[in-house]
Amino acid sequence: MAARTSHPAEPAGQGAPLRVSVLGGGPAAAELLLALRAQAGERVALELITPDPLLPLRAASTGAAFGKSTMEVYDLAELTRDVGATLRLDVAEAVATRARRIRLASGATANYDVLVVAVGARARAGVPGAAVFRDQRDCRLIEDLLADLRESDVERVAFAAPAGVAWTLPLYELALLTAGEINRRGLPAEVVLVTPERRPLEVFSSATSSLVESLLADRGVRLLTGTAATGVGHGRLELRSGGSLAVDRVIAAPRLVGRRVAGIPTDWNAFIPTDGSGCVADVPDVFAAGDVTTFPVKQGGLATQQADVIAAALARRAGADVPAPPARYVLRTRLLGPEQPLYLRTELDGQGRVLSSTTPAFTDEPPWWPAAKLFGRHLSPWMATHRAIDPVAA
């Protein structure tokens, strides 16, 4: 059911620009700034509030430890300069929605006409006793695993998903890349992938699931579907379906929880309920986009599309003639692991369910450009014309 909202729909008129404050520094926040400036021009005044001046693209982190991809990092100061936005390095602690005021960790406050919350989610352990792969911060975990495999200290490694994780693609990439290393070196080890999905990558199409099943079989990956990992102890991986599996190492996908901002309503898991236009239920002039929302599939490209929906609505409110985006999402990514490039695509409805589509579910030719793992309508062209930075030097 769509959340009930109380957002005014009339344009802002010809007076002062609409003040839009954005919380967060990920793909959704960056896309929103770029889209709003492109569509609304000087009708909006933009402010980005984030504790980190860097925008890392974490989608490629699974391949980084294998030398198969490079995780790019961009400078949010450069992006905000390009769109004429104010960058404030701070943390939003609370929002007084009636007064339209944000209290910041520094003690300062910020006023807004419209607030967009895009603060992302936190990664938590979802399989007790297992190591957790979050992103580039855990590349060392994979490097240590590969070293132990080469020393024959690990005979069976499991990549496992806990219950409730809808975006499992990183686990498949880790399993395929690890199995490829085992096969290349002729190591006496087995890879097992455990997932509560009925079929592999069921967030895509059945054709994609069949393809991934073949890829896993070709690499010798043992696949256990329809069961979630519940814990690790005494060399065994416990399964929700009952029984257990002997393992030497378990690397699990994280369980995500939202980032709470006092004054913004959330569910029990700290995710923000929104309607189809990104409005937060019963809170005037507050929107949310990306992983912090209750939308079940947490993926950067989808987050940028949620931001596009909000940007179009705000541009219209500010007086711009902007059409509304279609009421669906296109999930796009490149699957790391196969020898040849493999690009996956599917269409989702507002609840994250797969829609029928005549577009091919997968291809070895990039159907979008730039051909990155993460695509944003405004963010991708911006990245294509700007150089990534060295996060250590920065």
- Asked if the structure places residue 372 within a domain, the reply is no
For position 165, which CATH number holds?
3.50.50.60
246 and 130 belong to one structural domain? yes
For the ranges 53-62, 72-81, 128-137, 382-391, the lowest mean pLDDT is seen at 382-391
Distance CA 305, CA 328 (A): 9
- Asked if the structure places residue 133 within a domain, the reply is yes
128 and 249 belong to one structural domain? yes
Average pLDDT, the chain: 92
For the ranges 11-25, 82-96, 306-320, the lowest mean pLDDT is seen at 11-25
> How far apart, in Å, do the first and last CA atoms of the chain sit?
44
State the pTM of this model: 0.93
- pLDDT at 6 > cutoff 70: no
pLDDT at res. 342: 94
- pLDDT at 281 > cutoff 50: yes
Domain with 251, as residue range(s), is 124-255
303 and 272 belong to one structural domain? yes
203 and 273 belong to one structural domain? no
- Asked if the structure places residue 347 within a domain, the reply is no
Q: 324 near 313, Cβ under 8 Å?
A: yes
Nearest to 189 by CA among 140, 253, 133, 247: 247
167 and 211 belong to one structural domain? yes
- Asked if the structure places residue 382 within a domain, the reply is no
203-239 pLDDT, tens digit each: 998 999 999 999 999 999 999 999 999 999 999 999 9
pLDDT at res. 65: 83
42-77 pLDDT, tens digit each: 999 999 999 999 999 888 899 988 988 888 899 999
- pLDDT at 390 > cutoff 50: yes
CB burial string 378-391: b at 16+ within 10 A, e below = bbbebbeeeeebee
- Asked if the structure places residue 312 within a domain, the reply is yes
Mean pLDDT of 124-153: 94
146-182 pLDDT, tens digit each: 999 999 999 999 999 999 999 999 999 999 999 999 9
pLDDT at res. 56: 92
181-192 pLDDT, tens digit each: 999 999 999 999
Domain boundary (326, 345, 378) is at 326
pLDDT at res. 77: 97
Domain boundary (300, 326, 352) is at 326
For the ranges 15-29, 198-212, 366-380, the lowest mean pLDDT is seen at 366-380
pLDDT at res. 52: 95
- The CA–CA distances, whole Å, from 390 to 93, 104, 134, 326, 360 equal 30, 28, 20, 37, 37
Q: 323 near 201, Cβ under 8 Å?
A: no
pLDDT at res. 155: 96
- Structure tokens belonging to residue 67: 């030398």
Higher pLDDT, 326 or 52: 52
- Asked if the structure places residue 1 within a domain, the reply is no
Mean pLDDT of 246-261: 97
28 and 114 belong to one structural domain? yes
Residue 32 φ/ψ, nearest 5 degrees: -60, -45
- Asked if the structure places residue 90 within a domain, the reply is yes
Share of the chain above pLDDT 70, in %: 95
Domain boundary (255, 277, 303) is at 255
Mean pLDDT of 351-371: 83
158 and 235 belong to one structural domain? yes
For the ranges 82-86, 124-128, 231-235, 327-331, the lowest mean pLDDT is seen at 327-331
Q: How many domains does the chain have?
A: 2
Contacts of 394 (CB under 8 A, 6+ apart): 53, 54, 73, 75
77 and 139 belong to one structural domain? no
- Asked if the structure places residue 64 within a domain, the reply is yes
pLDDT at res. 2: 39
281 and 222 belong to one structural domain? no
97 and 23 belong to one structural domain? yes
Mean pLDDT of 366-393: 86
For the ranges 267-281, 294-308, 337-351, the lowest mean pLDDT is seen at 337-351
Strands 18-23, 44-50: pairing kind: parallel
216 and 265 belong to one structural domain? no
* DSSP single-letter state for residue 226: S
pLDDT at res. 147: 95
79 and 113 belong to one structural domain? yes
